[in-house]
């Protein structure tokens, strides 16, 4: 098993290229199941989760080829051999449930194992299932699988009222609705850029969608979808993560491909903390305005609010801020598992339920720490960049699910970081 060793090494300087969005690509890939014509994705991130989704699609009989060093995915579902997504693959990643809607819409039946993924809360799939039931699906949960059937005439349009804005459920319902007969209205739909990206891809395939990016999406079902070529949107979570590197260490870093509109609430908090974010022709340039970072209060919210996937990284920044910050996690329960590891590095953090109070210290100290999930793992790396001495991060396999070439990218701006085999 690998470890990452980080040594505090002063300010950073240079450029970091930002990859295509993991969460967008994992949603776009199952869209190939809706058509018998080719779907090609460019700007794809090179991550273990993408490889897992590739294996899942291939297990169904889809053709998936990674071209141009993995940044282009050429897919075709013209000759599927199965509509059953097996546990052995699905258990590795929650996004696997996104094959359910497309399979059901196109073939009228599907069997999908209940998914696995990061241990950051229950994240149930009931909203996915209720949305499909609103389109006429007949569902039976048994033996750890969702057994889904469409009525004899296929899925039909329906009204879906989400009790809260679920990204995954919105994506599954949106894909299924493209081939449902009639009009489907998704109310209280998620508004994330990944939803907009999916809608744009589906529209290129011939779908009729209105309102993506708002809380109400209307879909007019069509008889069939065709092929398309689509560029995956920039990964706003990787973008935010690397924007925090110069905020923590000092210096100035340009994040290539970055856009403020992807992270407006996050950028507002950086400004409040004393971090400058400047748009350039190539992306976003980030630097401290002057001196020590100031304390800020953060509440995670659905888009366009502060992203839950940047909460752990923001906590790493606030560990050395001047004053006391309060972080409130409203999206997932049990998402402060990185706090005890940051405390091992000298942070002053008090967690009560969904609230963490962080009192800044002058400087953290390197220590052996353990990653508990994807975003927690990178928060420990960020903390290590500015800590005194050496930080050894174990269980970094989590990192490979969401960040490509993290060591290379941080080395490129002057960080002292290496990946080694655990002794």
Q: Which residues contact 152 (CB under 8 A, 6 or more apart)?
A: none
Q: Does the annotation flag 331 for ligand binding?
A: yes
Q: Does the annotation flag 335 for ligand binding?
A: no
Bridge partners for 392 per DSSP:
5, 368
Q: How far is CA 197 from CA 4, 20, 92, 206, 219, in A?
A: 33, 11, 24, 14, 15
Tally of CB atoms within 10 A around 140: 11
Taking alpha carbons only, the member of 36, 401, 66, 75 closest to residue 224 is: 36
355-359 and 324-328: which strand pairing? antiparallel
Q: Does the annotation flag 304 for ligand binding?
A: no
Q: Does the annotation flag 94 for ligand binding?
A: yes
Neighbour order of strands in the sheet with 159-161: 159-161, 183-187, 216-220, 208-210
Q: Does the annotation flag 232 for ligand binding?
A: no
* Cα–Cα distance for residue pair 382/365, rounded to 1 Å: 12
Q: 106: which 2 tokens? A: 């196109």
CB of 225 within 8 A of CB of 201?
no
Q: Does the annotation flag 30 for ligand binding?
A: no
Tally of CB atoms within 10 A around 352: 8
Taking alpha carbons only, the member of 242, 188, 177, 171 closest to residue 23 is: 171
Q: What angle do CA 44, 4, 369 make, to 5 degrees?
A: 120
Q: Which residues are annotated as catalytic? A: 118
> Which residue is listed with tokens 């990192």?
399
What's the chain's Rg over C-alpha atoms? 22
Q: What backbone phi and psi angles, to 5 degrees, belong to 134? A: -65, -20
Q: Does the annotation flag 69 for ligand binding?
A: no
Q: Does the annotation flag 90 for ligand binding?
A: no
Taking alpha carbons only, the member of 76, 118, 95 closest to residue 26 is: 95
CA atoms lying within 13 Å on the CB side of residue 25: 33
Q: Does the annotation flag 126 for ligand binding?
A: yes
Q: How far is CA 331 from CA 162, 304, 350, in A?
A: 15, 13, 19
* Cα–Cα distance for residue pair 328/290, rounded to 1 Å: 27
Q: Does the annotation flag 38 for ligand binding?
A: no
**Residue stretches of the annotated binding site for phosphoenolpyruvate:** 22-23
**Residue stretches of the annotated binding site:** 22-23, 94, 123-127, 309, 331
**Residue stretches of the annotated binding site for UDP-N-acetyl-alpha-D-glucosamine:** 94, 123-127, 309, 331
């Amino acid at each position: 098993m690998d470890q990452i060793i980080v040594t505090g090494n002063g300010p950073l300087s240079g450029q970091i290229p930002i990859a295509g969005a993991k969460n967008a690509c994992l949603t776009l890939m199952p869209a190939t199941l809706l058509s018998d014509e080719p779907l090609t994705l460019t700007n794809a991130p090179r991550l273990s989760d993408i490889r897992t989704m590739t294996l899942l699609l291939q297990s169904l009989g889809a053709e998936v080829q990674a071209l141009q060093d993995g940044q282009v995915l050429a897919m075709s579902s013209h000759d599927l051999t199965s509509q059953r997504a097996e546990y052995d693959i699905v258990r590795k990643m929650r996004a696997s449930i996104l094959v359910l809607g497309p399979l059901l819409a196109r073939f009228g039946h599907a069997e999908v194992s209940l998914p696995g993924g990061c241990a950051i809360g229950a994240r149930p799939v009931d909203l996915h299932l209720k949305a499909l039931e609103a389109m006429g699906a007949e569902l039976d949960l048994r033996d750890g699988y969702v057994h889904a059937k469409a009525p004899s005439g296929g899925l039909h349009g329906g009204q879906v009222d989400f009790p809260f804005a679920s990204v995954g459920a919105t994506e599954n319902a949106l894909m299924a609705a493209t081939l449902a007969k009639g009009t489907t209205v998704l109310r209280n739909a998620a508004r994330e850029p990944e939803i907009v990206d999916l809608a744009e891809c589906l529209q290129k395939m011939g779908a009729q969608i209105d309102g993506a990016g708002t809380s109400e999406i209307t879909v007019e079902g069509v008889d069939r979808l065709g092929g398309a070529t689509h560029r995956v949107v920039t990964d706003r979570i990787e973008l935010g993560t690397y924007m925090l590197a110069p905020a923590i260490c000092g210096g100035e870093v340009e994040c290539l491909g970055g856009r403020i509109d992807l992270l407006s609430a996050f950028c507002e908090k950086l400004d409040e903390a004393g971090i400058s974010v400047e748009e350039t022709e190539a992306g976003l340039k980030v630097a401290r305005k002057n001196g020590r970072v100031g304390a800020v209060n953060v509440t995670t919210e659905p888009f366009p609010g502060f992203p839950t996937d940047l909460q752990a990284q923001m906590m790493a920044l606030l560990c050395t801020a001047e004053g006391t910050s309060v972080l409130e996690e409203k999206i997932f329960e049990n998402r402060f598992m990185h706090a005890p590891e940051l405390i091992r590095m000298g942070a002053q953090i008090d967690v009560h339920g969904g609230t963490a109070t962080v009192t800044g210290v002058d400087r953290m100290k390197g220590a052996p720490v353990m990653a508990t999930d994807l975003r927690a793992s990178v928060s420990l790396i960020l903390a290590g960049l500015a800590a005194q001495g050496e930080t050894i991060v174990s269980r970094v396999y989590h990192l490979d699910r969401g960040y490509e070439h993290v060591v290379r990218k941080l080395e490129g701006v002057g960080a002292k970081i290496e990946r080694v085999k655990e002794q």
